[in-house]
């Protein structure tokens, strides 16, 4: 039997103007962060909308990704 997992077809991250050069790395880091959260059962999500996550140009890519991933995980638990 395989370990429980989250299956996500696609992640769309919308960032404010001025983040165009950082969007790809932030999106990858969001996925990497999500992969670190514990999963207790198999979950497949077509669409999960998150509330707005505030970001600042001074925030590191890792901090932004971590905040988005944390909101994702919180919303995921509400979605179950």
How does pLDDT run along the chain (80 residues), one tens digit per residue? Answer: 678 877 777 777 788 899 999 999 998 999 899 888 888 888 777 777 788 889 999 999 999 999 999 998 888 777 65
Give domain status of residue 67, yes or no.
yes
Give domain status of residue 55, yes or no.
yes
Give domain status of residue 1, yes or no.
no
Give the total number of structural domains in the chain: 1
Q: What is the per-residue pLDDT for 3?
A: 81
Give domain status of residue 30, yes or no.
yes
Six-digit token string for 7: 């299956």
Q: What is the per-residue pLDDT for 1?
A: 60
Q: What is the 3-state secondary structure (H, E, C) of 36-74?
A: CCCCCCCEEECCCCCCCCCCCCCCCHHHHHHHHHHHHHH
Instruction: List the domain range (segments joined by +) for residue 46.
Output: 6-79
Complete DSSP assignment for 9-44:
S-------TT-TTTHHHHHHHHHHHHTTS--SS-EE
């Amino acid at each position: 039997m395989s370990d429980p997992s989250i299956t996500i077809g696609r992640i769309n991250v919308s960032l404010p103007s001025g983040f165009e050069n950082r969007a790809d790395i932030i999106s990858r880091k969001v996925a990497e962060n999500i992969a670190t959260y514990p999963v207790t059962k198999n979950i497949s999500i077509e669409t999960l909308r998150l509330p707005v996550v505030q970001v600042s140009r001074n925030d590191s890519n890792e901090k932004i990704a971590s905040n988005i991933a944390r909101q994702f995980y919180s919303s995921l638990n509400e979605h179950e």
